[in-house]
Amino acid sequence: MRPAAPVTAAPLLGLLLLGLSGCARPTDTFTPRIVINGPAGGAVSQSRAPTVRGYALDDVGVTRITVDGKTIPVQAGSRKIAAFSFQPPLQGNRGQYTVRAYDAAGHVGELSGTVRVDLQKPQIQVTAFERSGRQLRVSGIASDAGGVTAVSVDGQPLSISPGTRVAFSGQTSGVYADITVRDAAGNTSTRRAR
């Protein structure tokens, strides 16, 4: 029988270190991402004190969120999807803000936005009203500085191309036609055509 070769510690130590290197935690290279989901994507509000809502995403977790340099509270829940809300300061009918989200590795995500307050209801001008028995046809112009997004006649939505000045035409039956117009902020106006 042949004597066993002496085992040295160096190769075993090398194998052990090689095996442990696979357990090393990778470095955090993900910058937090910020998403604004209200009001209406951060654009227009019909409130004099609009609340901006959103969340910050990070693979390890958000440690802090600031708006214009001031720390704001993060709502309870996971720090990987950190929900927040705040009211931006307004100057006239506009408010601008910059949101920053920080993670433990020191990465900073940033998003700037504007919220506009629109308290004005859209305008409705009836340009034609025709009656044939109980059938009614109404045409007109809907206008709003912030943009008309929807027009309906007696609750039936009309196909329109959104814009600041929108021509519309619709049919209904009865004695009159109720025209309802909604703008980008959610303000509505209704006019009865007879």
Fold of 33-117: Immunoglobulin-like (2.60.40)
Q: What are the structure tokens assigned to 140, written together?
A: 């007109």
Measure CA of the first residue to CA of the last residue in the chain; give whole Å. Answer: 115
Residue 10 has pLDDT above 80, yes or no: no
Helix (H) or strand (E) holding 17: helix 9-21
Q: Where are the domains of the chain?
A: 33-117, 123-193
Q: What is the pLDDT of residues 38-77, one digit of tens each?
A: 875 456 777 888 899 999 999 999 999 999 999 999 988 8
Fold of 123-193: Immunoglobulin-like (2.60.40)
Nearest-angstrom CA–CA distance, 84 and 123 = 35
Q: What is the pLDDT of residues 94-133, one digit of tens each?
A: 889 999 999 999 999 999 998 888 889 999 999 999 999 9
Residue 26 has pLDDT above 90, yes or no: no
Residue with tokens 């959610």: 186
Q: Average pLDDT over the chain, rounded to whole?
A: 87
Nearest-angstrom CA–CA distance, 176 and 135 = 10
Residue 23 has pLDDT above 90, yes or no: no
Residue 20: what pLDDT? 47
Task: Of 4-18, 23-37, 128-142, give the lowest mean pLDDT range.
Answer: 4-18
What is the band of 4 on the pLDDT scale with cuts at 50, 70, 90? Answer: low
Confidence (pTM): 0.65
Fold identical between 33-117 and 123-193? yes
Look at 190 and 14; give whichever has higher pLDDT: 190
Nearest-angstrom CA–CA distance, 182 and 186 = 6
Side-chain half-sphere CA neighbours of 99 within 13 A:
29
Are 93 and 118 in contact, with CB atoms under 8 Å apart? yes
